[in-house]
Amino acid sequence: MEKKNKLIIAIMILYAIGILAVTWGILLGDLNLAEWEIIILILATIIAIVLIILNLKNIFKTKNASSSKTDSNGLKLDSDNYRKGSNGLKLDSNDSKGDFNDSTLDSKIAIDVKNVSMDFQISGEKIDNLKEYVIKSIKGEIVKEDFHALSDVSFQVKKGDKLGIIGLNGAGKSTLLKIIAGVMKPSKGSVKVRGKIAPLLELGAGFDNNYTGAENIFLNGAILGFSKSFIESKYDEIVEFADLGHFINVPIKNYSSGMRSKLGFSVATLVKPDVLLLDEVLSVGDVKFRKKSKEKIEELFNSGATVVLVSHGIKNIREICNQAVWLDQGKLIMSGPVEEVCDAYEKINDE
């Protein structure tokens, strides 16, 4: 290790210790500082620690490089962290995306959900500021409870099926849909999906309020996995379908919720997917756009896509779906033909 690196680390360690000492004095009540001064001290401590870590990484970079292997192209790859995918891309071996667009599935199966569980930690404490959070964390006064949104859920969806997911509020329907879409990674279990996914979950999610509608088309398209060149080729089509007029060049923060949904819907339905995921999105926007969106969704339905629909409207589930899954408090109660599942669900909840 060079003398220069040793000196930098020593200075940063002393700096961090000094900041921590001052912070500790504040917690014990020996020092009285304004809240903004406390925040600056805490941030300075964090920055010092990060700088130490980054400097250590740079020091040992050459050592790590020597343990890597060279591929046929002369590129050095760490064999422990990377693998070469079928499409030539090098993916982290622990990347959850490996579970999606899975070609290992039976050709008749579009979605395979196996023993999926999803756990969250919920804090009952009301914390209003950073100072209070830091003090309570150090004193161990923040108590978090485990919440099981999904518990060991398993089912399969055949290619071309229309599956409805039903259940009361808090049953885990939307959480399950987000896991299938790849937005969330399950705590346990696995999900495999065959084909291209179009998730119509929270329309407009990911929009930046300070960007214009036009700029958010590219931003939202990138989030959905579309390339810039593809968005450029479809830009006029998106703008025409969204029917926002001159508002397309206005920042999103000035949009109504309906306008945001119209733009989000126009981008999300840009391609014909193999798997369509819907979370209560059967029609959006004003009367004119609702007609257009309904026709678009029916077009996607009739294209042979596999559909997974979450809805509280049992009538919609019966009309659209041929299969259904019933969830209650995160547990799978029943799955099978839509009429049988819906009849059982309504019988229990009407009593």
Residue 233 sits in a domain of what CATH number?
3.40.50.300
Domain boundary among 24, 43, 65: 65
In one letter, which amino acid is 3?
Answer: K
Number of domains in the chain: 2
Domain boundary among 41, 65, 89: 65
- Note down pLDDT in tens along the chain; length 351 residues: 455 566 666 666 766 676 666 666 666 655 566 666 667 767 776 776 776 676 665 555 544 444 434 333 333 333 333 333 333 333 333 333 334 455 566 778 999 999 999 998 877 667 777 777 777 777 777 777 888 899 999 999 999 999 999 999 889 999 999 999 888 899 999 999 988 887 877 776 678 889 999 999 998 888 777 889 999 999 999 999 888 889 999 999 998 888 888 888 888 888 788 898 888 766 566 677 778 887 888 888 888 889 999 988 888 899 889 999 999 999 999 999 999 999 999 998 875
Per the CB < 8 A criterion, the answer to whether 44 and 19 are in contact is yes
In whole angstroms, what is the distance from residue 183 CA to residue 97 CA?
Answer: 10
Residue 163 lies in a domain: no
Residue 233 lies in a domain: yes
Q: Which domain holds residue 214?
A: 197-350
Residue 148 lies in a domain: no
Residue 114 lies in a domain: no
Q: pTM of whole model > 0.85?
A: no
Residue 117 lies in a domain: no
Per the CB < 8 A criterion, the answer to whether 192 and 112 are in contact is yes
Residue 91 lies in a domain: no
Residue 276 lies in a domain: yes
Domain boundary among 39, 65, 91: 65
**What pLDDT, on the 0 to 100 scale, is given for residue 258?**
82
Exposure string for 102-113, b = 16+ CB within 10 A, e = fewer: beebeeebbbbb
